[in-house]
Structure 1
Amino acid sequence: MSPADPAPGRPPGQAPRRGTARGALALALGAIAAVFVAAFVKGAIGFGFPTLGTPLLALVVDVKVAVASLVIPNLAMDGIQLRRQGPLGATPRRLAPLLVFTLVGTVIGTKLLVVLSGRAVTLVLGVFVVAFVVFDLVRFSPRVDQRWERMLAAPVGLLAGIMGGITSAPGTPLAVYFIALGMDKREFVRSVAFTFLIVKAVQLATLAWYGLLTGAIVLGSVGLTVAALAGFALGVRLQDKLDQRAFNRAVLVFLALLGVWLVVRAI
Protein backbone atom coordinates (compact mmCIF):
# COMPACT_ATOMS: atom_id res chain seq x y z
CA MET A 1 0.00 0.00 0.00
CA SER A 2 1.15 3.50 -0.71
CA PRO A 3 0.68 6.48 1.54
CA ALA A 4 -1.91 9.13 0.77
CA ASP A 5 -0.88 11.76 -1.77
CA PRO A 6 2.06 9.84 -3.27
CA ALA A 7 5.03 11.73 -4.62
CA PRO A 8 4.70 13.08 -8.20
CA GLY A 9 5.72 10.53 -10.80
CA ARG A 10 5.09 7.54 -8.57
CA PRO A 11 1.96 5.60 -9.54
CA PRO A 12 -0.62 4.71 -6.86
CA GLY A 13 0.19 1.41 -5.18
CA GLN A 14 3.98 1.67 -5.61
CA ALA A 15 5.83 1.93 -2.32
CA PRO A 16 8.37 4.69 -1.86
CA ARG A 17 11.98 3.62 -2.45
CA ARG A 18 13.10 4.92 0.90
CA GLY A 19 11.15 4.48 4.03
CA THR A 20 11.62 3.48 7.59
CA ALA A 21 10.28 0.38 9.23
CA ARG A 22 8.50 2.64 11.69
CA GLY A 23 6.72 4.47 8.88
CA ALA A 24 5.66 1.20 7.25
CA LEU A 25 4.37 -0.10 10.58
CA ALA A 26 2.40 3.10 11.20
CA LEU A 27 0.88 2.84 7.72
CA ALA A 28 -0.12 -0.79 8.26
CA LEU A 29 -1.61 -0.10 11.69
CA GLY A 30 -3.54 2.89 10.33
CA ALA A 31 -4.99 0.79 7.50
CA ILE A 32 -5.91 -2.05 9.87
CA ALA A 33 -7.59 0.37 12.28
CA ALA A 34 -9.60 2.00 9.47
CA VAL A 35 -10.89 -1.32 8.17
CA PHE A 36 -11.57 -2.72 11.65
CA VAL A 37 -13.66 0.33 12.61
CA ALA A 38 -15.65 0.25 9.36
CA ALA A 39 -16.31 -3.49 9.71
CA PHE A 40 -17.32 -3.05 13.35
CA VAL A 41 -19.89 -0.44 12.29
CA LYS A 42 -21.23 -2.79 9.62
CA GLY A 43 -21.58 -5.59 12.15
CA ALA A 44 -23.22 -3.30 14.72
CA ILE A 45 -25.74 -1.49 12.51
CA GLY A 46 -25.80 -3.59 9.36
CA PHE A 47 -24.52 -1.09 6.79
CA GLY A 48 -21.70 1.15 5.75
CA PHE A 49 -18.50 -0.85 5.38
CA PRO A 50 -17.41 0.59 2.01
CA THR A 51 -19.10 3.94 2.70
CA LEU A 52 -17.07 4.39 5.90
CA GLY A 53 -14.09 2.20 5.07
CA THR A 54 -13.08 3.87 1.79
CA PRO A 55 -12.76 7.44 3.16
CA LEU A 56 -11.15 6.18 6.37
CA LEU A 57 -8.57 4.16 4.48
CA ALA A 58 -8.01 7.11 2.13
CA LEU A 59 -6.71 9.02 5.15
CA VAL A 60 -3.63 6.80 5.25
CA VAL A 61 -3.20 5.51 1.67
CA ASP A 62 -3.81 6.81 -1.84
CA VAL A 63 -7.55 6.92 -2.57
CA LYS A 64 -7.26 4.57 -5.55
CA VAL A 65 -5.36 2.08 -3.43
CA ALA A 66 -8.10 2.39 -0.79
CA VAL A 67 -10.80 1.50 -3.32
CA ALA A 68 -8.86 -1.51 -4.63
CA SER A 69 -7.88 -2.72 -1.15
CA LEU A 70 -11.45 -3.00 0.13
CA VAL A 71 -12.80 -5.31 -2.58
CA ILE A 72 -11.56 -8.58 -1.04
CA PRO A 73 -12.74 -7.72 2.52
CA ASN A 74 -16.09 -6.75 0.98
CA LEU A 75 -16.35 -10.08 -0.80
CA ALA A 76 -15.58 -12.01 2.38
CA MET A 77 -18.18 -10.21 4.51
CA ASP A 78 -20.86 -10.23 1.82
CA GLY A 79 -20.34 -13.96 1.38
CA ILE A 80 -20.81 -14.54 5.11
CA GLN A 81 -23.83 -12.24 5.23
CA LEU A 82 -25.46 -13.96 2.25
CA ARG A 83 -24.86 -17.41 3.72
CA ARG A 84 -26.60 -16.35 6.95
CA GLN A 85 -29.72 -15.42 4.98
CA GLY A 86 -30.37 -18.98 3.84
CA PRO A 87 -31.59 -20.09 0.37
CA LEU A 88 -31.68 -17.41 -2.31
CA GLY A 89 -35.02 -18.51 -3.70
CA ALA A 90 -36.19 -16.22 -6.50
CA THR A 91 -33.72 -13.43 -5.66
CA PRO A 92 -31.23 -14.07 -8.54
CA ARG A 93 -33.97 -14.18 -11.15
CA ARG A 94 -35.68 -11.06 -9.80
CA LEU A 95 -32.45 -9.06 -9.63
CA ALA A 96 -31.02 -10.22 -12.98
CA PRO A 97 -31.98 -7.05 -14.94
CA LEU A 98 -30.60 -4.82 -12.18
CA LEU A 99 -27.39 -6.84 -12.00
CA VAL A 100 -26.73 -6.57 -15.74
CA PHE A 101 -26.79 -2.78 -15.64
CA THR A 102 -24.93 -2.63 -12.31
CA LEU A 103 -22.12 -4.72 -13.75
CA VAL A 104 -21.93 -2.48 -16.83
CA GLY A 105 -21.80 0.54 -14.53
CA THR A 106 -19.08 -1.12 -12.44
CA VAL A 107 -16.84 -1.53 -15.47
CA ILE A 108 -17.47 2.11 -16.46
CA GLY A 109 -16.85 3.32 -12.91
CA THR A 110 -13.62 1.34 -12.61
CA LYS A 111 -12.41 2.82 -15.90
CA LEU A 112 -13.16 6.29 -14.51
CA LEU A 113 -11.19 5.37 -11.38
CA VAL A 114 -8.24 4.62 -13.64
CA VAL A 115 -8.38 7.79 -15.76
CA LEU A 116 -9.43 10.35 -13.12
CA SER A 117 -6.82 12.05 -10.97
CA GLY A 118 -6.51 11.14 -7.31
CA ARG A 119 -7.85 14.58 -6.42
CA ALA A 120 -10.95 14.08 -8.59
CA VAL A 121 -11.62 10.66 -7.05
CA THR A 122 -11.22 12.15 -3.57
CA LEU A 123 -13.73 14.88 -4.45
CA VAL A 124 -16.25 12.35 -5.79
CA LEU A 125 -15.80 10.24 -2.66
CA GLY A 126 -16.29 13.24 -0.36
CA VAL A 127 -19.45 14.38 -2.17
CA PHE A 128 -20.79 10.83 -2.11
CA VAL A 129 -20.22 10.50 1.65
CA VAL A 130 -21.96 13.83 2.36
CA ALA A 131 -24.87 12.82 0.09
CA PHE A 132 -25.16 9.52 1.95
CA VAL A 133 -25.47 11.37 5.27
CA VAL A 134 -28.11 13.74 3.85
CA PHE A 135 -30.16 10.83 2.47
CA ASP A 136 -30.06 9.10 5.84
CA LEU A 137 -31.01 12.24 7.75
CA VAL A 138 -34.02 13.07 5.57
CA ARG A 139 -35.12 9.42 5.67
CA PHE A 140 -35.72 9.39 1.92
CA SER A 141 -38.01 6.37 1.46
CA PRO A 142 -39.90 6.48 -1.84
CA ARG A 143 -42.40 3.84 -2.85
CA VAL A 144 -42.85 2.60 -6.42
CA ASP A 145 -45.17 0.04 -7.92
CA GLN A 146 -43.48 -3.25 -8.79
CA ARG A 147 -44.58 -2.71 -12.39
CA TRP A 148 -41.82 -0.10 -12.59
CA GLU A 149 -39.17 -2.45 -11.20
CA ARG A 150 -37.67 -3.56 -14.52
CA MET A 151 -37.85 -0.06 -16.00
CA LEU A 152 -35.96 1.43 -13.07
CA ALA A 153 -33.37 -1.36 -13.08
CA ALA A 154 -31.34 0.30 -15.86
CA PRO A 155 -30.80 3.81 -14.39
CA VAL A 156 -30.45 2.55 -10.82
CA GLY A 157 -28.05 -0.21 -11.82
CA LEU A 158 -25.87 2.08 -13.93
CA LEU A 159 -25.71 4.74 -11.19
CA ALA A 160 -24.91 2.18 -8.48
CA GLY A 161 -22.27 0.50 -10.63
CA ILE A 162 -20.53 3.72 -11.60
CA MET A 163 -20.49 4.95 -8.00
CA GLY A 164 -19.26 1.56 -6.82
CA GLY A 165 -16.52 1.47 -9.44
CA ILE A 166 -15.21 4.89 -8.42
CA THR A 167 -15.71 4.75 -4.65
CA SER A 168 -16.21 1.02 -3.86
CA ALA A 169 -19.61 1.95 -2.34
CA PRO A 170 -22.60 1.23 -4.62
CA GLY A 171 -24.99 0.78 -1.71
CA THR A 172 -26.99 4.02 -1.50
CA PRO A 173 -28.78 3.82 -4.91
CA LEU A 174 -29.38 0.10 -4.41
CA ALA A 175 -30.73 0.55 -0.87
CA VAL A 176 -33.16 3.28 -1.97
CA TYR A 177 -34.29 1.08 -4.87
CA PHE A 178 -34.87 -1.99 -2.69
CA ILE A 179 -36.72 0.04 -0.05
CA ALA A 180 -38.87 1.64 -2.75
CA LEU A 181 -39.93 -1.85 -3.87
CA GLY A 182 -41.21 -2.56 -0.35
CA MET A 183 -38.82 -5.42 0.44
CA ASP A 184 -39.02 -6.78 3.98
CA LYS A 185 -35.87 -6.78 6.12
CA ARG A 186 -34.77 -10.33 5.27
CA GLU A 187 -35.36 -9.89 1.55
CA PHE A 188 -33.59 -6.52 1.66
CA VAL A 189 -30.47 -7.93 3.34
CA ARG A 190 -30.43 -10.94 1.01
CA SER A 191 -30.75 -8.71 -2.07
CA VAL A 192 -28.02 -6.33 -0.91
CA ALA A 193 -25.61 -9.14 -0.05
CA PHE A 194 -26.25 -11.03 -3.30
CA THR A 195 -25.89 -7.92 -5.45
CA PHE A 196 -22.74 -6.78 -3.67
CA LEU A 197 -21.15 -10.23 -3.93
CA ILE A 198 -21.59 -10.37 -7.71
CA VAL A 199 -20.63 -6.74 -8.25
CA LYS A 200 -17.49 -6.98 -6.10
CA ALA A 201 -16.36 -10.12 -7.93
CA VAL A 202 -16.63 -8.28 -11.25
CA GLN A 203 -14.96 -5.21 -9.77
CA LEU A 204 -12.07 -7.39 -8.58
CA ALA A 205 -11.55 -8.75 -12.10
CA THR A 206 -11.88 -5.28 -13.65
CA LEU A 207 -9.37 -3.74 -11.25
CA ALA A 208 -6.93 -6.53 -12.11
CA TRP A 209 -7.52 -5.98 -15.84
CA TYR A 210 -6.74 -2.26 -15.54
CA GLY A 211 -3.65 -2.91 -13.44
CA LEU A 212 -4.90 -1.35 -10.21
CA LEU A 213 -4.83 -4.64 -8.32
CA THR A 214 -1.11 -5.27 -7.88
CA GLY A 215 0.40 -8.16 -5.97
CA ALA A 216 1.27 -5.85 -3.07
CA ILE A 217 -2.31 -4.58 -2.86
CA VAL A 218 -3.70 -8.13 -2.94
CA LEU A 219 -1.41 -9.19 -0.09
CA GLY A 220 -2.35 -6.11 1.91
CA SER A 221 -6.03 -6.66 1.16
CA VAL A 222 -5.87 -10.23 2.46
CA GLY A 223 -4.41 -8.92 5.71
CA LEU A 224 -7.12 -6.27 5.90
CA THR A 225 -9.72 -9.01 5.40
CA VAL A 226 -8.64 -10.59 8.68
CA ALA A 227 -9.09 -7.23 10.44
CA ALA A 228 -12.45 -6.73 8.73
CA LEU A 229 -13.79 -10.12 9.80
CA ALA A 230 -12.65 -9.49 13.38
CA GLY A 231 -14.33 -6.08 13.46
CA PHE A 232 -17.48 -7.44 11.85
CA ALA A 233 -17.73 -10.31 14.36
CA LEU A 234 -17.27 -7.93 17.29
CA GLY A 235 -19.89 -5.55 15.91
CA VAL A 236 -22.43 -8.35 15.51
CA ARG A 237 -21.67 -9.58 19.02
CA LEU A 238 -22.20 -6.14 20.58
CA GLN A 239 -25.18 -5.24 18.39
CA ASP A 240 -27.80 -5.75 21.09
CA LYS A 241 -25.76 -3.99 23.78
CA LEU A 242 -25.38 -0.70 21.92
CA ASP A 243 -27.79 2.22 21.93
CA GLN A 244 -28.51 1.88 18.22
CA ARG A 245 -29.97 5.37 17.78
CA ALA A 246 -27.08 7.13 19.50
CA PHE A 247 -24.52 4.96 17.73
CA ASN A 248 -26.10 5.64 14.33
CA ARG A 249 -26.03 9.38 14.99
CA ALA A 250 -22.40 9.26 16.04
CA VAL A 251 -21.49 7.39 12.86
CA LEU A 252 -23.41 9.90 10.71
CA VAL A 253 -21.75 12.89 12.39
CA PHE A 254 -18.34 11.30 11.87
CA LEU A 255 -19.16 10.53 8.23
CA ALA A 256 -20.35 14.09 7.64
CA LEU A 257 -17.12 15.54 9.03
CA LEU A 258 -15.07 13.02 7.06
CA GLY A 259 -16.94 13.78 3.83
CA VAL A 260 -16.55 17.54 4.21
CA TRP A 261 -12.86 17.11 4.99
CA LEU A 262 -12.36 15.02 1.84
CA VAL A 263 -14.08 17.67 -0.28
CA VAL A 264 -11.95 20.44 1.22
CA ARG A 265 -8.80 18.35 0.76
CA ALA A 266 -9.65 17.73 -2.90
CA ILE A 267 -10.42 21.37 -3.62
Structure 2
Amino acid sequence: MDLFSSIISPEFLLLAMVVGVVSGFVKGVVGFAMPTIFISGLSSFLSPELALAGLILPTVVTNGIQALRQGARAAWTSLTHYKLFLSVGAVVLVLSAQLVTVIPSNILYLAIGLPVAVFTAVQLLGWNPTLARRDSRIEAAVGAFAGFVAGLSGIWGPPTVLYLTAVNTPKKEQMRVQGVVFGLGALMLLAAHLQSGVLRMETLPFSAILIIPAIFGIWLGFKVQDRIDQATFRKVTSWVLLLAGLNLIRRGLMG
Protein backbone atom coordinates (compact mmCIF):
# COMPACT_ATOMS: atom_id res chain seq x y z
CA MET A 1 0.00 0.00 0.00
CA ASP A 2 2.97 2.33 0.57
CA LEU A 3 3.51 2.15 -3.19
CA PHE A 4 0.26 4.13 -3.72
CA SER A 5 0.02 6.21 -0.55
CA SER A 6 1.58 9.29 -2.12
CA ILE A 7 -1.05 9.54 -4.87
CA ILE A 8 -4.19 7.80 -3.56
CA SER A 9 -5.73 6.77 -0.23
CA PRO A 10 -6.65 3.13 0.52
CA GLU A 11 -10.37 4.01 0.36
CA PHE A 12 -10.06 5.64 -3.06
CA LEU A 13 -7.92 2.75 -4.31
CA LEU A 14 -10.71 0.34 -3.35
CA LEU A 15 -13.26 2.54 -5.13
CA ALA A 16 -11.02 2.64 -8.20
CA MET A 17 -10.91 -1.17 -8.24
CA VAL A 18 -14.72 -1.30 -8.12
CA VAL A 19 -14.81 1.04 -11.12
CA GLY A 20 -12.37 -1.32 -12.84
CA VAL A 21 -14.66 -4.32 -12.30
CA VAL A 22 -17.73 -2.44 -13.57
CA SER A 23 -15.99 -1.07 -16.67
CA GLY A 24 -14.50 -4.49 -17.42
CA PHE A 25 -17.91 -6.15 -17.06
CA VAL A 26 -19.58 -3.77 -19.53
CA LYS A 27 -16.70 -4.24 -21.97
CA GLY A 28 -17.03 -8.00 -21.65
CA VAL A 29 -20.73 -7.83 -22.55
CA VAL A 30 -20.66 -5.34 -25.45
CA GLY A 31 -16.96 -4.90 -26.29
CA PHE A 32 -16.60 -1.16 -25.70
CA ALA A 33 -17.25 1.75 -23.28
CA MET A 34 -14.44 0.89 -20.83
CA PRO A 35 -12.61 4.26 -21.15
CA THR A 36 -15.89 6.17 -20.80
CA ILE A 37 -16.87 4.34 -17.61
CA PHE A 38 -13.32 4.45 -16.24
CA ILE A 39 -12.82 8.17 -16.80
CA SER A 40 -16.32 9.07 -15.56
CA GLY A 41 -15.99 6.92 -12.45
CA LEU A 42 -12.40 7.71 -11.48
CA SER A 43 -12.62 11.45 -12.16
CA SER A 44 -15.52 11.73 -9.70
CA PHE A 45 -13.02 11.29 -6.83
CA LEU A 46 -9.55 11.57 -8.44
CA SER A 47 -7.82 14.25 -10.49
CA PRO A 48 -8.44 14.02 -14.27
CA GLU A 49 -4.75 13.26 -14.87
CA LEU A 50 -4.66 10.37 -12.39
CA ALA A 51 -7.97 9.06 -13.75
CA LEU A 52 -6.52 9.07 -17.27
CA ALA A 53 -3.34 7.33 -16.10
CA GLY A 54 -5.41 4.70 -14.31
CA LEU A 55 -7.37 3.59 -17.36
CA ILE A 56 -4.44 3.23 -19.79
CA LEU A 57 -2.92 -0.17 -18.90
CA PRO A 58 -6.27 -1.91 -18.15
CA THR A 59 -7.55 -0.69 -21.53
CA VAL A 60 -4.50 -2.04 -23.38
CA VAL A 61 -4.66 -5.44 -21.65
CA THR A 62 -8.43 -6.00 -21.90
CA ASN A 63 -8.50 -5.03 -25.58
CA GLY A 64 -5.74 -7.55 -26.18
CA ILE A 65 -7.75 -10.24 -24.38
CA GLN A 66 -10.85 -9.33 -26.38
CA ALA A 67 -9.05 -9.28 -29.73
CA LEU A 68 -7.28 -12.61 -29.13
CA ARG A 69 -10.17 -14.49 -27.52
CA GLN A 70 -10.62 -16.71 -30.60
CA GLY A 71 -6.87 -16.84 -31.27
CA ALA A 72 -4.25 -14.80 -33.11
CA ARG A 73 -5.30 -16.10 -36.53
CA ALA A 74 -8.88 -14.89 -36.06
CA ALA A 75 -7.62 -11.50 -34.88
CA TRP A 76 -5.37 -11.22 -37.93
CA THR A 77 -8.29 -12.15 -40.20
CA SER A 78 -10.37 -9.34 -38.67
CA LEU A 79 -7.46 -6.93 -39.10
CA THR A 80 -7.14 -7.73 -42.81
CA HIS A 81 -10.94 -7.86 -43.33
CA TYR A 82 -11.31 -4.28 -42.08
CA LYS A 83 -7.97 -2.98 -43.37
CA LEU A 84 -9.63 -0.23 -45.42
CA PHE A 85 -11.54 1.07 -42.40
CA LEU A 86 -8.43 0.91 -40.21
CA SER A 87 -5.95 2.39 -42.69
CA VAL A 88 -8.18 5.31 -43.72
CA GLY A 89 -9.01 5.96 -40.06
CA ALA A 90 -5.34 5.94 -39.06
CA VAL A 91 -4.31 8.41 -41.78
CA VAL A 92 -7.15 10.82 -41.01
CA LEU A 93 -6.45 10.51 -37.26
CA VAL A 94 -2.89 11.73 -37.75
CA LEU A 95 -4.06 14.62 -39.95
CA SER A 96 -6.97 15.70 -37.75
CA ALA A 97 -4.78 15.69 -34.63
CA GLN A 98 -3.17 18.83 -36.06
CA LEU A 99 -6.54 20.64 -35.74
CA VAL A 100 -6.93 20.02 -32.03
CA THR A 101 -6.50 23.68 -31.15
CA VAL A 102 -8.85 24.90 -33.91
CA ILE A 103 -12.16 23.14 -33.17
CA PRO A 104 -13.63 23.63 -29.65
CA SER A 105 -13.99 20.30 -27.84
CA ASN A 106 -17.60 20.99 -26.79
CA ILE A 107 -18.64 21.45 -30.44
CA LEU A 108 -16.95 18.17 -31.32
CA TYR A 109 -18.64 16.28 -28.47
CA LEU A 110 -22.04 17.53 -29.67
CA ALA A 111 -21.21 16.68 -33.29
CA ILE A 112 -20.43 13.07 -32.28
CA GLY A 113 -23.01 12.63 -29.52
CA LEU A 114 -26.12 13.96 -31.29
CA PRO A 115 -26.10 11.64 -34.35
CA VAL A 116 -25.04 8.64 -32.26
CA ALA A 117 -27.83 9.23 -29.71
CA VAL A 118 -30.50 9.89 -32.36
CA PHE A 119 -29.53 6.92 -34.53
CA THR A 120 -29.43 4.45 -31.65
CA ALA A 121 -32.67 5.84 -30.17
CA VAL A 122 -34.59 5.20 -33.40
CA GLN A 123 -33.03 1.73 -33.58
CA LEU A 124 -34.33 0.97 -30.10
CA LEU A 125 -37.78 2.20 -31.22
CA GLY A 126 -37.80 -0.46 -33.92
CA TRP A 127 -36.10 1.00 -37.01
CA ASN A 128 -33.09 -1.16 -37.87
CA PRO A 129 -31.34 0.06 -41.03
CA THR A 130 -28.49 -1.98 -42.44
CA LEU A 131 -25.66 -1.10 -44.81
CA ALA A 132 -24.16 -3.12 -47.64
CA ARG A 133 -21.48 -5.21 -45.95
CA ARG A 134 -18.66 -4.73 -48.44
CA ASP A 135 -19.39 -1.23 -49.74
CA SER A 136 -15.84 0.12 -49.75
CA ARG A 137 -16.97 3.74 -50.13
CA ILE A 138 -19.13 3.60 -47.00
CA GLU A 139 -16.42 1.73 -45.09
CA ALA A 140 -13.81 4.33 -46.06
CA ALA A 141 -16.16 7.22 -45.23
CA VAL A 142 -16.98 5.87 -41.77
CA GLY A 143 -13.31 5.06 -41.17
CA ALA A 144 -12.42 8.64 -42.09
CA PHE A 145 -15.09 10.02 -39.73
CA ALA A 146 -13.96 7.76 -36.88
CA GLY A 147 -10.33 8.77 -37.45
CA PHE A 148 -11.25 12.44 -37.66
CA VAL A 149 -13.02 12.53 -34.30
CA ALA A 150 -10.39 10.28 -32.71
CA GLY A 151 -7.60 12.62 -33.71
CA LEU A 152 -9.43 15.59 -32.23
CA SER A 153 -10.91 14.06 -29.10
CA GLY A 154 -9.42 10.60 -28.49
CA ILE A 155 -12.94 9.14 -28.91
CA TRP A 156 -13.13 6.44 -31.58
CA GLY A 157 -15.67 4.07 -30.04
CA PRO A 158 -19.18 5.28 -31.01
CA PRO A 159 -18.60 5.73 -34.79
CA THR A 160 -16.86 2.35 -35.01
CA VAL A 161 -19.53 0.48 -33.05
CA LEU A 162 -22.29 2.25 -34.98
CA TYR A 163 -20.79 1.07 -38.27
CA LEU A 164 -20.28 -2.52 -37.12
CA THR A 165 -23.87 -2.62 -35.85
CA ALA A 166 -25.25 -1.13 -39.08
CA VAL A 167 -23.55 -3.78 -41.23
CA ASN A 168 -25.02 -6.45 -38.92
CA THR A 169 -21.65 -7.88 -37.91
CA PRO A 170 -22.00 -11.25 -36.12
CA LYS A 171 -21.57 -11.00 -32.35
CA LYS A 172 -18.23 -12.81 -32.02
CA GLU A 173 -16.72 -11.01 -34.99
CA GLN A 174 -17.91 -7.61 -33.75
CA MET A 175 -16.36 -8.23 -30.34
CA ARG A 176 -13.09 -9.30 -31.96
CA VAL A 177 -12.97 -6.36 -34.41
CA GLN A 178 -13.67 -3.90 -31.61
CA GLY A 179 -10.84 -5.46 -29.61
CA VAL A 180 -8.46 -5.05 -32.56
CA VAL A 181 -9.51 -1.47 -33.37
CA PHE A 182 -9.63 -0.24 -29.78
CA GLY A 183 -6.49 -2.18 -28.90
CA LEU A 184 -4.51 -0.34 -31.57
CA GLY A 185 -5.96 2.92 -30.29
CA ALA A 186 -5.06 2.01 -26.71
CA LEU A 187 -1.45 1.33 -27.72
CA MET A 188 -1.33 4.77 -29.35
CA LEU A 189 -2.74 6.26 -26.13
CA LEU A 190 -0.10 4.42 -24.09
CA ALA A 191 2.71 5.74 -26.27
CA ALA A 192 1.32 9.28 -26.22
CA HIS A 193 1.04 9.44 -22.43
CA LEU A 194 4.41 7.86 -21.76
CA GLN A 195 5.64 10.83 -23.78
CA SER A 196 3.33 13.38 -22.10
CA GLY A 197 4.26 12.28 -18.58
CA VAL A 198 0.73 11.28 -17.54
CA LEU A 199 1.99 7.70 -17.22
CA ARG A 200 5.20 7.86 -15.16
CA MET A 201 6.92 6.16 -12.23
CA GLU A 202 4.41 7.53 -9.70
CA THR A 203 1.24 6.68 -11.66
CA LEU A 204 2.36 3.48 -13.42
CA PRO A 205 1.78 1.19 -10.38
CA PHE A 206 -1.75 2.58 -9.96
CA SER A 207 -2.58 1.83 -13.60
CA ALA A 208 -0.99 -1.62 -13.32
CA ILE A 209 -2.97 -2.64 -10.21
CA LEU A 210 -6.23 -1.75 -11.98
CA ILE A 211 -5.50 -4.43 -14.59
CA ILE A 212 -6.59 -7.08 -12.06
CA PRO A 213 -10.18 -5.87 -11.43
CA ALA A 214 -10.57 -5.00 -15.12
CA ILE A 215 -9.67 -8.57 -16.14
CA PHE A 216 -12.05 -9.98 -13.52
CA GLY A 217 -14.80 -7.69 -14.83
CA ILE A 218 -14.28 -8.62 -18.47
CA TRP A 219 -14.27 -12.31 -17.54
CA LEU A 220 -17.68 -11.88 -15.89
CA GLY A 221 -18.90 -9.89 -18.90
CA PHE A 222 -17.78 -12.60 -21.33
CA LYS A 223 -19.86 -15.11 -19.35
CA VAL A 224 -22.96 -12.98 -19.95
CA GLN A 225 -22.08 -12.20 -23.57
CA ASP A 226 -21.67 -15.91 -24.40
CA ARG A 227 -25.23 -16.58 -23.21
CA ILE A 228 -27.05 -13.89 -25.20
CA ASP A 229 -28.12 -14.21 -28.84
CA GLN A 230 -27.39 -11.83 -31.72
CA ALA A 231 -30.63 -9.85 -31.31
CA THR A 232 -30.07 -9.32 -27.58
CA PHE A 233 -26.43 -8.40 -28.18
CA ARG A 234 -27.49 -5.80 -30.73
CA LYS A 235 -30.09 -4.35 -28.36
CA VAL A 236 -27.70 -4.17 -25.39
CA THR A 237 -25.06 -2.60 -27.64
CA SER A 238 -27.59 0.02 -28.75
CA TRP A 239 -28.46 0.89 -25.14
CA VAL A 240 -24.81 1.32 -24.16
CA LEU A 241 -24.19 3.32 -27.35
CA LEU A 242 -27.17 5.56 -26.53
CA LEU A 243 -25.77 6.24 -23.06
CA ALA A 244 -22.37 7.00 -24.59
CA GLY A 245 -23.98 9.44 -27.01
CA LEU A 246 -25.95 11.16 -24.25
CA ASN A 247 -22.77 11.44 -22.17
CA LEU A 248 -21.01 13.14 -25.09
CA ILE A 249 -23.94 15.56 -25.44
CA ARG A 250 -23.70 16.30 -21.70
CA ARG A 251 -19.99 17.04 -22.02
CA GLY A 252 -20.66 19.27 -25.01
CA LEU A 253 -23.37 21.27 -23.27
CA MET A 254 -21.30 21.67 -20.12
CA GLY A 255 -18.53 23.23 -22.19
TM over 0.5: yes
The answer to whether the aligner puts 1:37 opposite 2:22 as a matched pair is yes
Counterpart of 2:11 in structure 1: which amino acid? A
Distance 1:254 1:96, change over 3 A: closer
Q: What's 2:90 paired with?
A: 103
Cα displacement (A) at 1:207:
2.5
1:109 positional shift: 7.0
Q: Give, as a single letter, the amino acid of the residue that structure 2 aligns with 1:56.
A: G
Post-superposition shift, 1:183? Answer: 2.6
User: What is the one-letter code of the residue matched to 2:122?
Assistant: V
Name the CA shift for 1:214/1:96 in 2 (closer, same or farther; >3 Å).
Answer: same
C-alpha displacement of 1:237: 3.6
Aligned residue among 119, 125, 136 for 2:120: 136
Give the corresponding residue for 2:221. 235
1:25 aligns with 2:10: yes
Number of the residue aligned with 1:176: 162
Query: 2:17–2:213: 8 Å Cα contact kept in structure 1?
Result: yes
| CA 1:135–1:56: 2 relative to 1, 3 Å | farther
Separation in 2 of the partners of 1:28 and 1:61?
A: 10
Corresponding residue number in structure 2 for 1:209: 195
Q: How does 1:1-267 map to 2 (within 5 A)?
A: 24-86=9-71, 87-88=73-74, 90-107=77-94, 132-139=116-123, 141-146=128-133, 148-149=135-136, 151-164=137-150, 169-237=155-223, 240=227, 262=251, 266-267=254-255
Shift of 1:173: 0.8
Q: Distance in 2 between matches of 1:65 and 1:124?
A: 24
Residue 79 of structure 1 aligns with an amino acid whose one-letter code is G
RMSD: 4.1
Counterpart residue identity of residue 166, structure 2: A
Once the 2 structures are TM-superposed, how far is the Cα of residue 222 of structure 1 from its aligned partner?
0.9
Query: What whole-Å deviation, never above 9, does each CA across 1:96-149 have from its counterpart, x for those lacking one?
Result: 232223334555677778x69xxx768866886676554433227543335532
> Larger RCO: Structure 1 or Structure 2 (Cα < 8 Å, ≥ 6 residues apart)?
2
Q: Is the 8 A contact 1:142 1:180 kept in 2?
A: yes
What 5-or-longer segments of structure 1 have no aligned partner? 1-19
Structure 2 letter corresponding to 1:91: S
- Give me the whole-angstrom Cα distance separating, in 1, the residues matched to 2:245 and 2:92: 26
**CA distance in 2: counterparts of 1:26 and 1:130, whole angstroms:** 37
**Counterparts of 1:222 and 1:211 in 2: how far apart (Å)?**
16
Question: Per the alignment, in what secondary structure is the counterpart of residue 44 of structure 2?
Answer: coil
Structure 2 residue identity aligned to 1:71 = I
Specify the SS of the correspondent of 1:43: helix
> 1:37: how far off?
1.3
AA aligned to 2:190 is L
Over 3 Å counting, the alpha-carbon distance change for 1:249 and 1:101 in structure 2 is closer
The secondary structure found in structure 1 opposite 2:51 is helix
Determine if contact 2:35/2:59 at 8 Å carries over to the other structure.
yes
